[in-house]
Structure 1
Amino acid sequence: MIWKPNVTVAAIIEQSGKFLLVEEAQNGVGLRLNQPAGHLEAGETLCDACSREVLEETGYTFLPDALTGIYHWRAKRNGTTYLRFTYIGSITGHDPHRKLDEGIVRAAWFTLEEIQEKQPMHRSPMVLQSIEDYLAGKRYPLDLLKSGAL
């Protein structure tokens, strides 16, 4: 059997001291909070995947500026291993009427304190850890990651 981690992307989006999170319905677990995030699809760059996921889950157009961290996590619930690339960047537009991905209940802005209070609802420990890394000033250039034929 060949094993491989699930490659995912996520976005830390802050405006006026609040962070954009999604509230999502997770089978068998109920509502969970997460950054706009999802899986890398065939043929995509990591940056393109992040922009696509933000749009699909929030209706916001997102332009990655830097990488804030790469996270390796194994979910206890199902044993799945994730390799998550988390970006920071800027919002360049919003379509409030866009239909959001299946399972996304809503996208909403939360203060750090609200996020900390809702920690039991976090989809994974990466939610708060990546925000803390962002607030600590962790930034890595996008050219750290190479795509395409080398």
Structure 2
Amino acid sequence: NQPAGHLEPDESLLEAARRETLEETGWEVAPTAFIGAYQWKAETGRHYLRFAFAADPVRHLPDRPLDDGIVQALWLTPSELQSQSHRHRSPLVWQVVQDFLAGRRSPLSTLQQIA
């Protein structure tokens, strides 16, 4: 799975993307583009909404503990990731990568937070 999670109160989507990435990988990142918004209905009937971003790595904090339940951050090539599709949390994992590889990018200014 890519880093994912929930919005905290009064948090923007970009703030959440930076925070979740840090909490789940130990990396500070700088979002560079919006890849897309994705909705998926699981077999349980539960709906999931994902906002995906491209980002540049800024700084690795190797001594920072990762969120509970995360054993390690693992970086895979696209072919390695695709070969593990049976382990993906949802079909959104590979769809986001496909869209990124196809060059799908929108400016971050596409997202607006109205106070």
**Structure 2-normalised TM-score?**
0.96
**Partner in structure 1 of residue 29 of structure 2:** 62
CA distance in structure 1 between the partners assigned to 2:84 and 2:92 by the alignment: 14
Unmatched tracts of structure 2, length 5 or more:
none
**How many percent of aligned residue pairs carry the same amino acid?**
50
Select which of 133, 137, 140 maps to 2:99: 133
Instruction: Tell me how far 1:108 sits from its aligned partner.
Output: 1.2
**Partner in structure 2 of residue 107 of structure 1:** 73
SS in structure 2 opposite 1:83? strand
Unmatched tracts of structure 1, length 5 or more:
1-33
**Aligned-residue CA RMSD (Å):** 0.8
Letter in 1 for 2:99: D
Letter in 2 for 1:114: E
Runs (4 or more) in structure 1 with deviation over 4 Å come to none
The within-5 A match list for 1:4-23 is: none
SS in structure 2 opposite 1:110? coil
CA distance in structure 2 between the partners assigned to 1:148 and 1:56 by the alignment: 26
SS in structure 1 opposite 2:62? coil
- Larger strand percent: 1
- Larger helix percent: 2
